[in-house]
Amino acid sequence: MPTPGVLSSETFLNTLEVLFPMPSNKGGSKRKARYKLRKERRSRGKISISRFMQSFDAGQRVSLSTEPSYHKGEYHLQYVGKTGIVKGMRGKCYEVIIKDGNKEKLLIIHPVHLKG
């Protein structure tokens, strides 16, 4: 019971929120992605050096295919299987423009995760 003359910021709704907090997602961005990130049986093992060394020109169309064993320069899993256009380079990675619905989005992707 609040003391008279003192305003209390705690309400019924605030106490419920403390007792029953809202649920939050467990895990990270790769959770429930086992089948998207699985390699074919024959492609397991070391990564091909030609995938690392491949180069693309600005304006070239590329397909996004993630390399699960190399995590740097990886894009979000909602873009797996999309195609985009190379805009340019940023460091060792490529800037790729994809169309997500009606919006164009710029992804920064390592060449291991691209196919020409």
Burial of 12: CB neighbours in 10 Å, binned 0-12, 13-18, 19+: exposed
The count of other CB atoms within 10 Å of the CB of residue 65 is 13
Give the count of domains, the chain.
1
Dihedral sign, Cα of residue 61, residue 64, residue 65, residue 67 = positive
Position 28 in a domain:
no
Let me know if residue 35 belongs to a domain.
no
105 phi, psi to nearest 5 deg: -125, 145
Q: Is residue 5 part of a domain?
A: no
- Tens digit of pLDDT per residue, the chain (116 long)? 555 655 556 565 556 556 666 777 788 888 899 998 999 899 898 888 999 999 999 999 999 999 999 999 999 999 999 999 999 999 999 999 999 999 999 999 999 999 98
0.85 surpassed by pTM = no
Residue 64 is part of a domain; what is its CATH number? 2.30.30.70
- Residue 84 tokens read as 């985009």
d(CA 60, CA 62): 6
